[in-house]
Amino acid sequence: MKVTIFGSGYVGLVTGACLAEAGNHVICVDVDAAKVARLNAGEVPIHEPGLEALIGRNREAGRIEFSTDAVAGVRHGLFLLIAVGTPPGEDGSADLRHVLTVARTIGETLEQYAIVITKSTVPVGTADKVNAEVSAALAKRDVNVEYDVVSNPEFLKEGAAIADFMKPDRVVVGTGNPRTTELLRALYEPFTRNRDRLVVMDVRSAELTKYAANAMLATKISFMNELANIAERVGADIEKVRVGIGSDPRIGYSFIYPGTGYGGSCFPKDVKALVRSAHEVGYEPALFDAVEAVNERQKSVLVRKLNHVYGSALRDRCFALWGLAFKPNTDDMREAPSRVVIAALQAAGATLRAYDPVAMDEARRQLGVNPALTYCKGPYEALEGADALLIVTEWQEFRSPDFDRIRKLLKAPRIFDGRNLYDPALLERFGIEYYAVGRGRPALAGSHEGVK
């Protein structure tokens, strides 16, 4: 099948590569000529495990190509997927300018039947706006071309996106046209052969499903972080509580790990957009307001622990920071908790020595050159001369470190763990002071311990 994807960001590249891998002929269109040139030269501008090899293999086979020619893209595809960015505005609403620009371009070019698919995460009612833009552009040309507008939201996890696409839990399709349903079923059939995973519904329900999924997962994270803060103050261990509630199949273990809050390009943006959508229809979404507020507060949990331990003596301290990306297996630093930690400690007069297995280049691009921030080549290099170690991202290589080496390299053997990677009893045997999230150190809820 012939597929055109508008937008060569995270969703567009993963979707295009996976559809090409199934034998389809895919054109990815982007307005960024420099990005297109890099992709045509074999460079992939984002980090996602397996993506570079997947794109390279299909590019060599001629099944995927990259272009800035939107007109050729419209003429190529039976399926026209809109996967451009929808960045949040100052009020939290999704910015649909790029989505509607693509829709207008489709209407100005369309010559034969096509299925226009909104793949970007968009508010309820966006498909109607896309339809209006295409229809208006066709009317201006005084042509009558049949087309359908479909909502087909993505459910890709950064770090596991290829597996998510190749073996989806579900493929949500919002349409009222049975013919369109069957064409989408055929497009996704290579990925759903063992069981029909197509979930067909009306367009508006499909649009809301995406926001509902991310809001639910964000709620679980904020719920667990709120519970962790209570556990810490009453002397309970949130990790034992997590096992106790996760064993209930009605709850499960997914997304109930306490930490430094969620980040990335999806949860923060989508919760804000859902709140904004609720406000627009006169509803006050108290729960989602709380989810967002808890998360923003949780991003500073390590800073609060440092204040409790060091008091006002953070100036001229040096801290090692393990993890910059918002989660493992990605270089994405959008809304990352590490950025909050870095900004707060620099404002307090401290310096940092940071390391991340993948996100170092992205950190330099996002954070720039800063005399208070040293980018280190390895985790142990980051420890040299540091007063304590802060863990912000749960990369696999941080899970079983050399604790003797950590103790020797740090000025004082202290770890502030924002991801609860270690057993407190084990670190006690190594002579390391261990401050985790919600692990029964009620003293940290009160005044600082006055460490010198």
Residue in this structure with the two tokens 């069957």, named with its chain if needed: 182
Q: Which amino acid is at 42?
A: G
Residue 44 CB: number of other CB atoms within 10 A?
17
Integer angstrom CA distances of residue 323 from 24, 359, 382: 38, 8, 11
Beta strands in 183-254 (DSSP E): 198-201
User: Positive or negative CA dihedral for 266, 268, 272, 275?
Assistant: positive
For the question of residue 266 being annotated catalytic, the response is yes
Residue 245 CB: number of other CB atoms within 10 A?
14
**172, 167, 271: which is closest to 218 by C-alpha?**
271
The pair of three-digit structure tokens given for residue 152, joined into one six-digit string = 């087909």
Which string of DSSP letters, residue by residue, matches 384-406?
Answer: TT-SEEEE-S--GGGSS--HHHH
Beta strands in 76-160 (DSSP E): 79-82, 114-118, 147-151
**328, 343, 21: which is closest to 190 by C-alpha?**
21
**207, 189, 208: which is closest to 198 by C-alpha?**
189
Which string of DSSP letters, residue by residue, matches 71-96?
Answer: HHHHHH-SEEEE-----B-TTS-B--
What are residue 375's DSSP bridge partners? 354
Do 375 and 363 form a contact (C-beta atoms < 8 A)?
Answer: yes
CA pair distance 251, 194, nearest whole angstrom: 27
The pair of three-digit structure tokens given for residue 150, joined into one six-digit string = 């479909």
Integer angstrom CA distances of residue 134 from 124, 151, 363, 381: 18, 15, 39, 56
* Residue 59, phi then psi, degrees to nearest 5: -70, -40
b/e burial code for range 55-66 (CB count within 10 A of at least 16 → b): beebbeeebbbb
**82, 64, 73: which is closest to 24 by C-alpha?**
64
The one catalytic residue among 18, 266, 318, 376: 266
**129, 131, 45: which is closest to 93 by C-alpha?**
129
Catalytic residues: 266
